[in-house]
Amino acid sequence: MFIDTLLIGLSSGAIYSLMALALVLVWRSTRVINFAQSGQAVLSTYIGYEISLSTHNYWVSLPLAIAAGAIIGSLVDLLFMRLLAKRGTSGPIAEIAPVIATLGLLGLIQSVIGLIWGNAFLQYASPLSAKGFTFGTHTIPFSPQNLFIVIAAAIVLGIFGFVFRFTNLGLALRAASFQPEIAQLSGIRVNLVRNIGWAFAGAAGAVAGAVITPTSTLSPHSLDLLFVSGFISAVIGGLDSLIGAVVGGLVLGVGFAFILQYISSALTFLAGFIILMVVLLVRPRGIFGQKVKRNA
């Protein structure tokens, strides 16, 4: 039972990690919490759904949904955020305006989805079974699709980790998010690099949407709760740290699974906020947050 619960927790935690990663990527480079992230992810998932309908192949639709997520992320930056940043001077309005804009964008994306696909619950099916693995007579609640979710998340996190740590692009991404002006003066094309960050974030959200949706249904709001969990995970992890996002996601996923299993399903959502409060009280900068104050 313990192992079962742990596995389920890892599976949902992996998804939270992806969502948290998407939020952290944008936050680090723009100081904006991208509330449109769940909208971007669900739109990418609808695109994957549409492709799977015409190709009858989930494995074809998955990479295309991810590519769509990257393009959507890049467009959100180019068409909205960059314009706002250009107009914004200093002061509270300049800081708040982009966040409000992402909220507006979320509503816009979800309405457009409603117009195109309606608000019905759709099935984006994966060929992998959603029934748990069976050992002898014991069936565990961890299915091949759950296993795939964990593997997919691990691959994405591995790729991101590699890119950030070992490539010039990763170095440019880090430099541009830590100190944009110095990066610029070193010759880094900060706007381009930032846009790539948005694309990475969009792709991470799209992976989350496209691998989790086959375990339930697809609707304009089907990823909203995932966003909340991803956000809590990101904050637990310190909001600035990619590793923190991953650890935060896993902590939350496993925490939820155990509360669901051993206490009550009614408590899971409340538990998310309790975990958040405890972390913020004990360690206000999050588990992996930097002590050093950065110049935004």
Partner 1 sequence: MNSGLVVKNLKVNYGAIGAVKDISLTLTPGELVAVIGANGAGKSTLIRSLSGLVAPTSGSATWKGSSLLGKRPEQLVREGIVHIAEGKAVIPELTVAENLALGGIWRGDKSDVKLATQESLTLFPALASRLQQRADTLSGGERQMLAIARALISRPQLLLLDEPSLGLAPLIIEQIFAAINQLRMRHGLTVLLVEQNAMSALKIADRGVVINLGEVVTTGTPEELLSNGQLREAYLGI
Residues near partner 1, by CB under 8 A: 168, 171-172, 174-175, 178-179, 181-190, 290, 292, 294
Provide, rounded to whole angstroms, the least separation between the CB of residue 239 and partner 1: 15
Yes or no: say if 219 and 41 are a contact pair by the CB < 8 Å rule: no
Nearer to partner 1, 62 or 193 (CB): 193
Three-state secondary structure call for residue 121: coil
Nearer to partner 1, 45 or 177 (CB): 177
Burial class (CB within 10 angstroms; exposed 0-12, middle 13-18, buried 19+) of 289:
middle
Provide, rounded to whole angstroms, the least separation between the CB of residue 176 and partner 1: 10
Provide, rounded to whole angstroms, the least separation between the CB of residue 292 and partner 1: 7
Locate 193 and state its tokens. 């690099």
Nearer to partner 1, 220 or 238 (CB): 238
Indicate the DSSP class of residue 140.
Answer: P
Provide, rounded to whole angstroms, the least separation between the CB of residue 191 and partner 1: 8
Q: Can you list the alpha helix ranges (DSSP code H) found in 186-223?
A: 190-212
Adjacent-strand bridge partners of 134:
139
How many whole angstroms separate alpha carbon 11 and alpha carbon 33? 25
Provide, rounded to whole angstroms, the least separation between the CB of residue 101 and partner 1: 24
Nearer to partner 1, 54 or 295 (CB): 295
Q: Which amino acid is at 75?
A: L
Nearer to partner 1, 136 or 187 (CB): 187
